[in-house]
Structure 1
Amino acid sequence: MPETTATIAPTESPRGTGRSRRLHVSDEFDGVMARIAEIAPMIREDGPAGEDLGRPTPRVLEALKEIGVFRAMLPREVGGFEFSPRQQLQLMEALSWHEASTGWTVLGVIDQTALVAAYVDDIAVDEYFGDGFAIFSGQGTRPGRGRRVEGGYVISGEWQFNSGSSVSTHLETAVVGDDGRFVMATLPREKSTDVDNWDVLGLRASSSHDYRVDEVFVADTHTYDPVDGVARRGGAMFDVGLAYLATLQHAGWALGVCKRLLEEIRLLARQKASRRGASTSTDQFYAAYASMEAQYRSARAFLLELWGDVERTVDAAEAPSAEQISLMQLGTVTANRTAQSIATEVATWAGTTLIRKGAIQRYFRDAYTGVEHLVCSPPVQQAVGKQLSGSAAEGARWVFYDLVESAGQS
């Protein structure tokens, strides 16, 4: 059974926005997961074709839209399902289990779209979600430039890794204004230029190419403050923190990769069982497989435990502590390092199957690509360790993926 959390009746936010401060657990979750299981054969079948196209196939994207996958995190006020964090974790695991690049494509847009819906002004929300349904991709870790003008900013810049661009209609992109403000600016994709440079080891079907914007006006109503901004819509999930909702997606993605790698090596072992001298019929392989299974299940249990704790915290209208934020990030690092470790072990036992086109090779490449993301980087892991070990300065706090300590302390 999928793990869930009880929904408690909403209360008005003490911050004056009128939004609920209670955690919502969606009744749509089981139905969405069941429909994903129904289309799983198609998602898997189209995996190789997606690599050739550089994006998931049109029929896969259309099926995901029909199911409502792109509405999973969206606040209920704008027609979304508003999955809880643990529901979202399991959604990403399921999608990536069936096809890693498809999962990454969803990862690239699902939280971006939800955050825009939760934070921007009513004027922008009416434009984006009133009569239709905008889908956002973009980049928030390397800001562009904003020139302050009356009513907004004229933005320019170049950004990397626009994951999910094959399905997005709009951009959410980081900008630092010449007035010193750091904002997320939203705009139609048609006002940007794609850079065709997604020639990579893995995740080839995720369309994570770069993009640039040249002198485009974005009104203040279509921006929001990602550091100190207050969510206008959505429940307690949006009190987790913008960066850590993105971290959550990467954790679920890695679990799906682990699960598929284990499935594929089991299948290969059965296929080779009748062959004399097959390495996958040895006691050494059995022990290695048991270790891989334990790694995956341990990472998954850790994530469900820590996110359950976070859910209880935000449901009580409290902000996650520095330790909880450290654990959120540690869970994602652990899941991705586990996927990398399992990929390496599977490669040891796959033999020549690894070097030929197929799911094992594809997932090996995907695991080694996904783990290179910022959320899994050594500096993040080091900062997490510093905070959890008690070595950080008193009062140290997280700002996105940086552990900020008081001046004069280390």
Structure 2
Amino acid sequence: MSDTRRLHSAGTTLLERARELRPLIESEADAAEARGRLTTPVVDALHEAGLFGVWVPAPLGGAESSPRELIAVFEALSYADPSTGWVVMATTLENGTAGAYLGDDAVERMFAGPRMPLVAGQGTRPGTAVREDGGFRLSGRWSFASGMRHAQYAHSLGAVEGSDEVRIFITPMDDVKMLGNWDVLGLRATGSIDYSIDGAFVPESQSHVFTQDEPLRGGALYRLGLVDQALIAHSGWALGVGRRLLDELVRHAGARAGRPGQLAAGDTFHTGFARTEAAFRAARALVHETWDDVERTLDAGRMLDVRQETMVRLALNHVTSTVAEVARFVFASGGTSALRDGLVQRLFRDVHAGSAHITSGPQVLQECGRELAGLAPGESWEVFGLKA
């Protein structure tokens, strides 16, 4: 039966709505940064536009967008404001996978309301789960819970005591202690705080195996598993922020054209801009080429092979490092306008915060190189490393 699953296409409606929200998102960005969370008008508008359902399985009333549709939506939101794009990509990844993988009882509770539930948390360093009749007792401390201040549920990784099993646990916010320590250089409005859980009971239906790639609801998108779906989110984010940086530099240079000694008159700047634009467009093309190939594979009812797993990791790693270089070029070219508090400075800070994410780390790039060079025969991807 699983072999008959196909990709669901949501069309362009949500992308158009994301673009329409740009003026509101931009007007609220400074206030969001100051508060360390998105503002209520933006969160309400995202709900009303249906954007928090972009990843949710269609049987639950979500859009269940394809990978390239998701990338486009996150690109548009991140272009308007990197923190907004980041919060939406993180929470929708987690409410989408919850809808696809959790048991019926949990899904009925979570998706019964008039709004899509928001789920936030951390899926890398695990807490500890102890089996108990009907479920688990979960304890631990987790970091970087993007969107936690807007969420109704936490998504937390836990290692099951006495076994090799690692699971994702979904708990209501009443079970969560938010530690409120998000004091950072960039992506300030994401509110990616640390949190802890102390012995909360989690019913079996509110958890799933971390590596689950056969959905209980929805189509082929969810056969990617949690990790590969996260790569979609971060790829769209990088594309949106990179394009916005270059567009802001175009506006900056154009506003000063014709003035003696200005940036726009320099041959060195012209050459540097051409190279930076080309590098960004090439990285963007690799992202789209890679996910186009993935979509064809999924729609044919197949799973990704090792090389495709390598390429989705490489495409994200490459576009992220490229956007970091774009940010450095734009910041250096912006002169005192970039140095002062303002949009370019915020974009620069946000890019360097986002590029520190584990999905784009140096270990991933090393492993990609090893596989591409033919030096990992018989190995397959387990999260961010290759193993026999």
Task: Pick the aligned partner of 1:129 from 70, 94, 111.
Answer: 111
1:1-400 matches, within 5 Å, as 12-14=1-3, 21-27=5-11, 30-132=12-114, 133-180=116-163, 181-228=165-212, 230-392=214-376, 394-400=377-383
- Measure, in 1, the Cα distance between the counterparts of 2:281 and 2:179: 39
Verify the 8 A CA contact 2:2 2:214 in the aligned structure 1: no
- Code of the residue aligned with 1:48 in structure 2: it is D
Verify the 8 A CA contact 1:107 1:164 in the aligned structure 2: no
Q: Which residue of 2 aligns with 1:4?
A: none
Cα deviation, 1:237-273, whole Å, max 9, x if unaligned, reads 1112210100110011001111110011111101221
- Code of the residue aligned with 2:233 in structure 1: it is Q
Shift of 1:229: 5.5
Q: Which residue of 2 aligns with 1:7?
A: none
Q: Secondary structure at the match of 1:137?
A: strand
Q: Secondary structure at the match of 2:162?
A: coil
- Code of the residue aligned with 1:223 in structure 2: it is S
- Code of the residue aligned with 1:331 in structure 2: it is A
- Measure, in 1, the Cα distance between the counterparts of 2:211 and 2:136: 18
Long gaps (5+) in structure 1 = 1-11, 15-19, 406-410
- The two structures have a TM-score, normalised by structure 1, of 0.92
- Code of the residue aligned with 2:282 in structure 1: it is S
Q: Which residue of 1 aligns with 2:384?
A: 401
Verify the 8 A CA contact 2:120 2:148 in the aligned structure 1: yes
- The two structures have a TM-score, normalised by structure 2, of 0.97
Long gaps (5+) in structure 2 = none
- Code of the residue aligned with 1:172 in structure 2: it is H
Shift of 1:230: 2.7
Q: Report % sequence identity.
A: 36
Q: Secondary structure at the match of 2:371?
A: helix
Verify the 8 A CA contact 2:213 2:226 in the aligned structure 1: no
- Code of the residue aligned with 2:260 in structure 1: it is R
Verify the 8 A CA contact 1:138 1:173 in the aligned structure 2: yes
Verify the 8 A CA contact 2:181 2:193 in the aligned structure 1: yes
- Measure, in 2, the Cα distance between the counterparts of 1:188 and 1:228: 21
Cα deviation, 1:98-154, whole Å, max 9, x if unaligned, reads 100100111221111100000011111111113443211111100001122111111
- Measure, in 2, the Cα distance between the counterparts of 1:149 and 1:156: 13
Higher mean Cα deviation, 282-291 or 153-162?
282-291
- Measure, in 1, the Cα distance between the counterparts of 2:281 and 2:242: 9
Instruction: Provide runs of 4+ in structure 1 moved above 4 Å.
Output: none
Verify the 8 A CA contact 1:13 1:21 in the aligned structure 2: yes
Shift of 1:369: 0.8
- Code of the residue aligned with 1:293 in structure 2: it is E
- Code of the residue aligned with 1:370 in structure 2: it is G
- Code of the residue aligned with 2:162 in structure 1: it is D
CA RMSD of aligned residues (A): 1.2
Alignment: residue pair count: 386
Verify the 8 A CA contact 1:148 1:179 in the aligned structure 2: no
- Code of the residue aligned with 1:214 in structure 2: it is D
